[in-house]
Amino acid sequence: MTTSRRGRGLLAVSAVSAAAVVLAMTAGGADAAQKPGGADAKKPAQADKQTSGKERKGNYDARTPNAKTTYARSAKVQGKETAAAKKFRDSLGTQGVVQVDPNTGTPAQVTKLNGFLTGKSGKKATDVALGYVKAHPEIFKLSDADLGTLKLRKDYVDDLGTHHIFWTQVVDGVEVFGNGLKANVTKNGQLISVMGSPVSGLTAAAQARSAEAAPKVSAADARSTAIKDVGGTAKSATATTSGVNTKWSNGDTAKQVWFHTADGLQKGWLTYTNSGGQNIYSHVVDAQTGATLYRKDLVSEGNGDALVQDYYPGAAKGGTQRTENLIYNKWLPKNAKTLLDGTSVAAFADVNDDNTPNPGETVKVPGTKTGSEYKLTTFQNASSFCSAAFICTWDPAKPDSWKTNMNQDVTNAFYLASNYHDWLAKPPISFTPAAGSFDAAGGDPVMLNALDGAATAANGGPDANHIDNANMSTPPDGQSPTMQMYLWHFPGTTDAQEGYVPSSGANDASILYHEYTHGLSNRLVVDATGNSTLNSIQAGSMGEAWSDFYAMDYLVSHGLEKDTTAPGEVLEGRYVSHGELFRTQAIDCRVKAVSANCIQPDGSKGGYTYADFPTIGGSPEVHASGEVWAQTLWDLRERFGRSYAMSIITRAMELSPADPTMLDMRNAIVQADLVASGGKNADIIWTVFANRGMGWYAGVVDGGDAFPAEDFHKPPTGATTTLTGTVKDKDTGAPVAGALVYVGGHSSGYAGDYAGTTDANGNYSITGVAPGTYPKLVMSAPGYELLVQPATVKAGAKANFTPRRNWAASSGGGTVTDFNGPDFTPQCGPAFAIDNAQGTGWGSTTGDDNGTPTNKMVEKHIDIKLPSKVNVSGFNIDPSNTCGDPGSSSTGGYRVETSADGTTWAVAASGTFDATNRGKYNLVAPTGNATGIQYVRFVMTSPQVPDFETNCPAGAFGGCQFTDMTEIQVFGKK
C-alpha cells in the first residue's frame, strides 16, 4: 500500500460537476451550455462528448464538503437543543427560520419570512444587531470574550435604507476565514436577519493552537501548493510584501487565517493565485501539513472619441457603430493617451493569455483631431452564418485575421464594461463601491482581457481552451476580477460542426454583460468575510440565471432586445448563435406558453418549473438548470415592472444565506419585499414562485440536490401541528437512535426548525409544522442509508422510516484495510468511499501514482472489512467524480469482489457505468459469492472518458489522469 500524498480537493455539489462556471460551450469543458443551431438546439446536452479543451477542478470546503457529510453533526446539535433554544425557535412562528451550523453549533441563519425579529428602534443598526445577539445566548452561544473578537468589516446602506453589516472574528491579529457575523437592519431599526456561523470559544481555541508547533508551511509554499493543486504552473514573481500578508508582483497573495472545521481550529494560508488562462482560484492551505482545506474556483464561465456599438454588429438596434467619448463619460482620465486604463476597467488584448499587457497588446486611447476610431472591418465570407444581420469580425480559416479588428475589439469591450458598471450602480440595482462594485479607486477595477488566447495555437490562432467562451473571475472586494473574452467559431471546423458566428465576445453585449453580472452576484452572496458562497449546483445555477437575467434586462430596458406580451422573444446570445436559441428556451417563456422558443426537450410546451431542473439540458448543469430561475425572475419583472422587480431581486442577494438553494432565494425575495413594502406584495411573490413549482411544500435535500421536488401551493394559514414517527432497522426491527429527520426545503440538513432527532427508542418529534404534503422528508443516521420520502402532515400524523444497515459505512464499523494507488488523504482518501456521504469520495489516479495520462488504466482497488459476516443482498454504488475532478473522472468499468477471510476472493458483480449513473446510487445485485462475507473489494477498471483508448493522453479529459468514485454501500443480513 502506497502512502504518497498530494494536495487535492473535493467537489462540493453532491458529485455533480460544478467546475468552472462559464457562459457558453467550452469545447470539452466540464461546464457546457447548449449548442445552438436549428433542431439541435432542442436536443439535450450530452456529457463528455467533446474532445478538446481542458476540464477543471471544482470547489472544496473541509468545513462542509457537502451537507450530507454534516448530518450526523446536525443530529447531535438538534439532540442537544435546550428547552430555551426550542422556546426561541417556536417564538418565531411558522415562517421563522433557525438554521444552526453543525460545525460551530451557532446560527447560520435566524430570520422570519413574515415579519421582523425586532420592532422599530432609533438605535444604531450595529447596536440593534449586537443587542439581539447578546439577548439570546441560548441560540447564539457567544460569550463576552467571543463578542470581543468581532471586528466591524463593513456597514453599508442600500437604496432601501437597509444596513448590511459584516463582522469578522479576529484573534491576535489573525482573521477567521468565512465565519463571523452578518446582520441586516431596516432604516427603521428593525432586525431582518442574523447570519454567519460565528465561532464560540474562539480565543481559548486560538491560544491552544498557538501554543503548539509553529506553522511549517510558508506563504511561498502555500502559493506553490495552491497552484499545483489545480494543475497550474507558478509564474515567476517577486514578493512585494512578506510575512502574514504576502503579495507578489503578479497579483498573487497569501494571507494567514484561522480555519474552523468540525475537528477544531487550524492555522492556514488564504491564497489568491492566477496561473494563467482560467486557472484563477482561492485556496486555504493548512499551515502545518500543506493540505487543501478550501478551494474556490473564481472563474464564472464571458481624444476619447471611440466607435462603439451598443448591442452587436448588425443588430437592428444598437448594431451600427457610433461615437462615444470615453473621457467625457469619466471612464478614462483626462490625460489618458496610450492605455485603456480607466476608472472601473483596464482593457487590453491578452492574445497570448499571460494576463499581462505586452507590447502589441495594448490599445491607444481612440480619437484624433479629425474623427473617431476604430472602424470595424467585416469578414462576410468567413461563414454561411455571416450576414448583414450577423456581421462576422474575423475568419477562422485565417487565424491571424483577428488582428484586423484588435483595436476595435478591445475598445468596444472597454466601452461595454464601463457603461454596464455605471448602469449597475444606479437605482434600483445600486451596485455601489460600498456594496462591492469594481472601481479603480477601491483597488479592484475589472481587468478585461479581450481576444484572450487569440494567438495560443501554433498557427497564430486560438487553441481549444480559448474559443467559444467567456468568463469572469471574482475575488473578494478590494481585489480585481479578471474578465476574459474569447473568439467564437473554432478554426478548422465547418458550419455544420460549429454553430457559432465567427465573432468576438467583446462585440456581443449580452455575453459581456452576462459575465460582468457574475461579479455582481459573487460580491453580494457572500459570507461574513466577503467570500462568495455560490458553490453548489443550486447556487451555481442561480449564478448563471442572474447573469442572463440582468444582461437581458439591460438590453430590453434600452430597446435593444424586443419584448412584447408575446412569449419566446428574449434570447441570450442571439448574435453568436445567429438568431437561433443559445439556451434551450427564451428567458420570457411563461409556464404553458405557446411559442417555438418555448418548447421543452421532451416536446411539451411552455416554460420550465422546478422539477425540470435536472432534465433541461439532459442532465443537471448550471447553465441549463438555471433557466428555470431566470424565467421565474422574468415573471417577477412582468408582474411588478422593471424597477421594483430589480430592486427586490438585488436586495434579496444581500439578504441571502450562504450557498442558497432556489427556495432560500425565494425566501430572500419575500424578505426584500417585506423591507420595501411591508410585505404588501408577499401573496403575489408566492403566487409567482408557486406557479413555477417553488411553492411552500417544494423540497430539496440540500444545495447539492439536483433533483428537487416541486409544489404549487402558497404558504398555508391556520394552526400548526406536530409530526412524529419512528426510525427502525429494516432487517432487524431495532430502533435507530440519533437519526436526524428533517423537512427538505425548510431545514436542508441543518439543525433547527422543521427538524428532529430520534431518541433511544427510535422516536422523533418535529413541532410547529404547517399541515400539508411535503415531498422530501429526509432521514440520515450513522451506519444507515439516507432515505427521502414524502410525508403528509396533519393532526396525529406519523412518518416512519426503515433504513437498511449499510455494513460498509465507517460510522457503522466498516474499515478500509488495503488499497493501491496514491493516498490523497485528507481531502479524498480511500476512507471517503465508505463515509456514507455522496458529497465526498475516493479519488485515485488512472495510470501511475503520479497521474501520468496514458491510454492504459492501472486498476485501483479498496478492500473494506465489514464489522460482521453478512449475507450480501446488494451493493449501492455512486461512481461519480470527486476531489474536484471533472465528470470524465467518474468510474466507468468496475468490479466487485468478496471474501470471507480477506485472502480468498471471488467476483460478486461487475459492469460499466456512464454519465447517467452519476450523482446517485446505483443498486447492483451480486451474481455470486454473497454468503458469509466480511470483506468487499471495489475495483475501478476504467474512467468515463469517451473512447478512452484513443483520447488519452492526447485528449484533455480529467479522467485521463484521475479516476474516482463517491460511495459504496453494502446491504444484507447477519
User: Where does residue 717 rank: exposed (0-12), middle (13-18), buried (19+ CB within 10 A)?
Assistant: exposed
**Average pLDDT of 179-192?**
97
**Average pLDDT of 697-703?**
92
Contact 45, 32 (CB under 8 A): yes
Architecture of the domain whose range is 322-524: Roll (3.10)
Sign of the alpha-carbon dihedral angle for 523, 10, 890, 456: positive
CATH of domain 721-793: 2.60.40.10
862 HSE (CA, 13 A, CB side): 24
Distance CA 613, CA 707 (A): 7
Percent of the chain surpassing pLDDT 90: 72
Q: List the alpha helices (DSSP H) in 426-491.
A: none
Distance CA 412, CA 417 (A): 9
The per-residue pLDDT for range 738-754, each reduced to its tens digit, is 999 999 999 766 666 89
H or E segment at 61?
strand 60-61
Contact 662, 649 (CB under 8 A): no
Grid cell in block for residue 36: 445552438
Instruction: Examine the pLDDT at 302 and tell me if it is beyond 50.
Output: no
The per-residue pLDDT for range 379-390, each reduced to its tens digit, is 999 999 999 999
Instruction: Examine the pLDDT at 470 and tell me if it is beyond 50.
Output: yes
**305 forms bridges with which residues in the sheet?**
325
H or E segment at 341?
strand 340-341
- pLDDT attached to residue 223: 94
Tell me the pLDDT band of 41, cut-offs 50, 70 and 90. very low
Sign of the alpha-carbon dihedral angle for 34, 514, 532, 295: positive
Instruction: Examine the pLDDT at 20 and tell me if it is beyond 60.
Output: no
Instruction: Examine the pLDDT at 363 and tell me if it is beyond 60.
Output: yes
Instruction: Examine the pLDDT at 75 and tell me if it is beyond 70.
Output: yes
**Paired sense of beta strands 446-450 and 345-349, if any:** parallel
Q: Residue 828 to residues 73, 451, 963: CA-CA distances in angstroms?
A: 20, 37, 12
Tell me the pLDDT band of 299, cut-offs 50, 70 and 90. confident
**Average pLDDT of 289-295?**
90
Distance CA 453, CA 464 (A): 10
Q: Residue 89 to residues 120, 140, 768: CA-CA distances in angstroms?
A: 21, 12, 9
- pLDDT attached to residue 413: 97
**CATH of 810-973 among 3.20.10.10, 2.60.120.260, 3.40.50.800, 3.20.20.70:** 2.60.120.260
370 Cβ neighbours under 8 A, 6+ residues apart: none
- pLDDT attached to residue 298: 82
Grid cell in block for residue 516: 460582468
**CATH of 537-691 among 3.30.70.3450, 3.40.50.300, 1.10.390.10, 1.10.3860.10:** 1.10.390.10
- Give the chain's mean pLDDT: 89
* Domain topology for 213-298: Nuclear Transport Factor 2; Chain: A, (3.10.450)
Task: Please indicate whether residue 590 or residue 841 has the higher confidence score (pLDDT).
Answer: 590
Of 690, 712, 695, 700, the closest CA to residue 743 belongs to: 700
Distance CA 683, CA 872 (A): 53
Q: Quick one: DSSP state of residue 409? A: H
Contact 288, 391 (CB under 8 A): no
3-state class (DSSP) for residue 77: helix
Residue 853: CB atoms within 10 Å: 21
**711 forms bridges with which residues in the sheet?**
694
3-state class (DSSP) for residue 865: strand
Instruction: Examine the pLDDT at 66 and tell me if it is beyond 70.
Output: no
Instruction: Examine the pLDDT at 95 and tell me if it is beyond 50.
Output: yes
**Average pLDDT of 682-690?**
98
The per-residue pLDDT for range 154-178, each reduced to its tens digit, is 999 999 999 999 999 999 899 999 9
Percent of the chain surpassing pLDDT 70: 92
> Which residue type does 117 have?
L
Contact 903, 865 (CB under 8 A): no
Contact 511, 24 (CB under 8 A): yes
Domain ranges in the chain are 68-199, 213-298, 322-524, 537-691, 721-793, 810-973
Mean pLDDT is highest, among 15-19, 28-32, 367-371, 914-918, for: 914-918
**Average pLDDT of 420-438?**
97
- pLDDT attached to residue 12: 21
Contact 801, 788 (CB under 8 A): no
Q: List the alpha helices (DSSP H) in 679-741.
A: 682-691
Tell me the pLDDT band of 35, cut-offs 50, 70 and 90. very low
Distance CA 820, CA 831 (A): 13
- pLDDT attached to residue 233: 83
- pLDDT attached to residue 800: 98
The per-residue pLDDT for range 819-865, each reduced to its tens digit, is 999 998 877 899 999 988 777 889 999 999 988 888 899 999 999 99
Grid cell in block for residue 414: 472597454
Query: Angle, nearest 10°, between helix axes 537-557 and 509-524?
Result: 130
Instruction: Examine the pLDDT at 23 and tell me if it is beyond 70.
Output: no
Is 721-793 the same fold as 322-524? Answer: no
User: Where does residue 249 rank: exposed (0-12), middle (13-18), buried (19+ CB within 10 A)?
Assistant: exposed
> Which residue type does 372 have?
S
